[in-house]
């Protein structure tokens, strides 16, 4: 078996599922937008249940500047590098959406105390590529590509930044953006020569906060795009219409032979499934539809706002978060055309169904999730984006975010919040902060791709 901590990746999803239990998490925490003038930082959290510091932050790596808005992150190497002894899953690329800085963090030398290895400045990226607002990071087997949501002025559609494995700017990855209007997330499946990308909005649109009227003015996405991966250009676009308003997180099956994939449409609160049919043509359908919920203080029923989706490593379960409703759902997608709800838990949200969990007042709703490789533990954080947090959950300024853990039944389906585990970011040393995406030292369900 390959090195669990920072080797070049697992031979297969099945091998990944047999890896040792995770003992550390790396979780992004931000002060951007909170009113506290401190740098955003990367937390190391102890998740070893035998440890005396279980469910505690054991180190904090501050970024050099203020106002980055750290958001997502990605490894320099993943299981697409399996068998390449020259590659090592050692560095975490941590972008700042607002600053466009890319922070290269050494998590391999001392996994409990990551250090800053290098910063690629947002100003340099803008000058050399006319790109800004980095979001999703994926390893390409050697080089790295990052989805960039805007041009240097913050206008859509942006493009894709390519870095060498030495973290030097190569340039723009794509040969053409075709007719794509917006960027956001992406995932590639090389055995089908395909990459699928989704849409949020221009940085100039989403950064100040959310305005529902701008959806009607077509300033938010409602399309997904299928790329010729080798030619680095989009080949087909699916217009999802009212069923696909703001399609965000993209996930293919982990099985590299599979053509099945999914995207969560945030505002429509739908899950869209795509696949390649027997004739080799791509098809799509809606398989999950979350109903809007009435609220006495809202003029319209509240949409769930599916902020994230995730697939278990064996491709059996799909998890989603309804950030405004406050629930996390587990669906059995053994038949990807027929999703079956098998579990649901509540934390935070605007519906008031779980305002306090494990002694902590949950402000915000379930937002980002990361699943253990064996599929049994789901780690959940509560912050979406600073201006959106402030808009929908104003008390988060004083209460901060939190991380909880959900135990998942992988045999029969089902979920329950673990009563022992809570990380309260409202009690951080520099004041209440907010937590977003999580990674494991050994790779995880939302970063590893097999070729």
**Which tens digits make up the pLDDT trace of 221-236?**
999 999 999 999 999 9
> pLDDT category, 7, cuts 50, 70, 90?
low
> pLDDT category, 12, cuts 50, 70, 90?
very high
Q: Please state the pTM of the whole predicted model.
A: 0.97
Q: What is the pLDDT of residue 292?
A: 98
Sign of CA dihedral 149, 152, 157, 158: negative
Q: What element of type H or E holds 397?
A: helix 396-399
Q: What is the pLDDT of residue 272?
A: 98
Q: Contact at 8 Å (CB) between 350 and 392?
A: yes
Mean pLDDT of 338-365: 97
Domains and CATH numbers, the chain: 13-439 (2.130.10.10)
Quick check: 139 pLDDT over 90? Answer: yes
Mean pLDDT of 254-260: 98
> pLDDT category, 113, cuts 50, 70, 90?
very high
> pLDDT category, 86, cuts 50, 70, 90?
confident
Mean pLDDT of 353-377: 97
Residue 158: closest CA among 127, 182, 137, 124: 182
Residue 361: closest CA among 345, 344, 382, 378: 382
Give the tens place of pLDDT for each residue, 41-67: 999 999 999 999 999 999 999 999 999
Q: What is the pLDDT of residue 83?
A: 81
> pLDDT category, 3, cuts 50, 70, 90?
very low
Across-strand partners of 352?
A: none
User: Three-state DSSP class for 149?
Assistant: strand
Burial 113-148 (b: 16+ CB within 10 A, else e): ebeebebbebeebbeebebbbbbbbbbbbeebbbbb
Least confident of 205-219, 338-352, 436-450: 436-450
Cα three-residue angle 253-219-298, rounded to 5 degrees: 90
Q: Contact at 8 Å (CB) between 70 and 130?
A: no
- Mean of per-residue pLDDT scores for the chain: 96
Q: How far apart are CA 316 and CA 334, in angstroms?
A: 5
Quickly count helices (H) and strands (E) in the chain. 6, 30
Cis-peptide, bond into residue 157, ω within 30° of zero: yes
Q: What is the pLDDT of residue 212?
A: 95
Quick check: 110 pLDDT over 90? Answer: yes
């Amino acid at each position: 078996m390959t090195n669990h901590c920072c080797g070049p990746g697992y031979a297969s999803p099945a091998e990944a599922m047999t890896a040792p239990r995770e003992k550390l998490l790396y979780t992004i925490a931000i002060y951007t937008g909170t009113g506290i003038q401190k740098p955003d930082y990367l937390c190391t959290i102890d998740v070893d249940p035998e440890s005396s510091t279980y469910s505690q932050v054991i180190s904090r790596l501050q970024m050099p500047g203020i106002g980055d808005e750290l958001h997502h992150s990605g490894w320099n190497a993943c299981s697409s590098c399996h068998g390449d002894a020259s590659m090592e899953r050692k560095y975490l690329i941590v972008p700042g959406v607002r600053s466009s800085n890319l922070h290269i963090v050494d998590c391999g030398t001392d996994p409990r105390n990551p250090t800053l290895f290098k910063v690629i400045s947002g100003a340099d990226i803008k000058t050399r590529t006319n790109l800004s607002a980095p979001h999703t990071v994926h390893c390409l087997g050697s080089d790295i590509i990052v989805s960039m949501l805007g041009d240097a002025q913050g206008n859509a559609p942006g493009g894709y930044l390519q870095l060498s494995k030495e973290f030097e700017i190569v340039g723009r990855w794509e040969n053409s953006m075709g007719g794509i209007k917006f960027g956001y997330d992406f995932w590639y499946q090389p055995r089908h020569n395909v990459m699928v990308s989704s849409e949020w909005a221009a940085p100039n649109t989403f950064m100040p906060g959310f305005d529902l009227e701008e959806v009607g003015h077509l300033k938010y996405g409602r399309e997904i795009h299928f790329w010729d991966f080798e030619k680095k250009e989009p080949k087909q676009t699916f217009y999802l219409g009212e069923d696909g308003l703001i399609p965000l997180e993209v996930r293919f099956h982990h099985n590299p032979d599979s053509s099945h994939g999914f995207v969560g449409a945030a505002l429509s609160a739908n899950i869209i499934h795509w696949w390649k049919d027997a004739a080799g043509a791509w098809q799509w359908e809606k398989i999950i539809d979350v109903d809007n919920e009435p609220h006495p203080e809202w003029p319209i029923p509240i949409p769930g706002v599916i902020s994230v989706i995730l697939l278990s490593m064996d491709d059996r379960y799909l998890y989603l978060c309804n950030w405004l409703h406050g629930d996390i759902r587990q669906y059995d997608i053994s038949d990807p055309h027929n999703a079956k709800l098998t579990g649901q838990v509540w934390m935070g949200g605007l519906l008031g169904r779980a305002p306090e969990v494990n002694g902590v007042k949950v402000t915000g709703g379930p937002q980002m999730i990361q699943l253990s490789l064996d599929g049994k533990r789901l780690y959940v954080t509560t912050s979406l984006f600073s201006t959106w947090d402030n808009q929908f959950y104003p008390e988060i300024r004083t209460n901060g975010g939190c991380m909880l853990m959900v135990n998942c039944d992988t045999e029969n389906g089902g979920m329950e919040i673990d009563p022992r585990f809570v990380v309260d970011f409202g009690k951080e040393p520099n004041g209440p902060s907010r937590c977003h995406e999580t990674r494991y030292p050994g790779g995880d369900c939302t970063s590893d791709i097999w070729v």
